[in-house]
A = this chain, B = another copy of it.
Amino acid sequence: MSDSDITMIGIMGRWQGGAGDRLKEAALSLFRTQGYDGTTVAEIAAAAGVTERTFFRHYADKREVLFVDQGEFERAFLTGLPETGADPMRLIAAVLDSAATLFPEQRRTWSRARQTVITTTVALQERELLKMSALAAALTRALTARGIDPTSAALAAESGVTVFRTAFTVWVDPAEDRTFPVIQQTVLARLHALIGQ
C-alpha cells in the first residue's frame, strides 16, 4: 500500500466502502496522480477492485464518477423548502440551510481534494456547471409552483445557487476553517448587503 493510498483512505474514511464509493476514491486518486485525461475507466475499476461492468452499473462514464446523483443532490435543497411562505429569498434561505447538511466537516478533506481536480479539468468544470444549472432550474420550478412569477423565481433560484457555490469555494479554501453553514450564512448576508443598497 503506497503513501498515496493511505492518504486517500484517510480522505474517504467516513465512507463505508461500497463499490460506488471505492470507485470514487480510486478515480480521485488516479486523477490526482496521472490526470483525468490520462486515466481510463478500466484503471479506475481495477484500482477499486471491481470489474468495468460494475463501474458502468454505478456511473454512465468517467466524467460522472466524482458527482453524486443529481436527483439526490437536488433533494438535499428541496427538502428544506418550507410548506408555506411566498417571499422568494426567505424560501431560498431555508433551502440553503437544508443543503448545508451536504457538507459536514468530515467531508472537507475529500471535497478539497476533489476540487483541485475539478478546477484543473475542463470536462469536469463543464459537468459541475451543468449540475449547478440543473439545480437552478429545479429551484426555479419549485418557486414557480408556489405561484412566484417566473422572472422572480429564476432570479431568486440563481442567487441561491450563487450563494451556495461561493460558500463552497470559501469552504474548500485550505486557509479557511469556519464550517459550511456559518460560511454560507455569511455569504447570504453579504449578498443582501450588496444588492439591498
CB A103 to nearest CB in B, in angstroms, measures 17
Asked if A129 lies at the interface with its beta carbon under 8 angstroms from chain B, I say yes
Q: Knowing A159-B162, A194-B88 are in contact, say whether A151-B170 is a contact too (CB < 8 A).
A: yes
CB distance B126 to A194 under 8 Å?
no
Q: Knowing A126-B129, A159-B162, A162-B155 are in contact, say whether A192-B187 is a contact too (CB < 8 A).
A: no
Identical subunits present: 2
Which residue of the partner chain, among B88, B133, B152, contacts A125 with CB atoms under 8 Å? B133
Interface of A is mostly: helix
A190 to B149, CA, bound (A): 11
Chain B residue contacts of A69, Cβ below 8 A: none
CB A170 to nearest CB in B, in angstroms, measures 7
CB A192 to nearest CB in B, in angstroms, measures 6
Within 8 A of B (CB), among A128-176: 129-130, 133, 151-152, 154-156, 158-159, 162-163, 165-166, 169-170
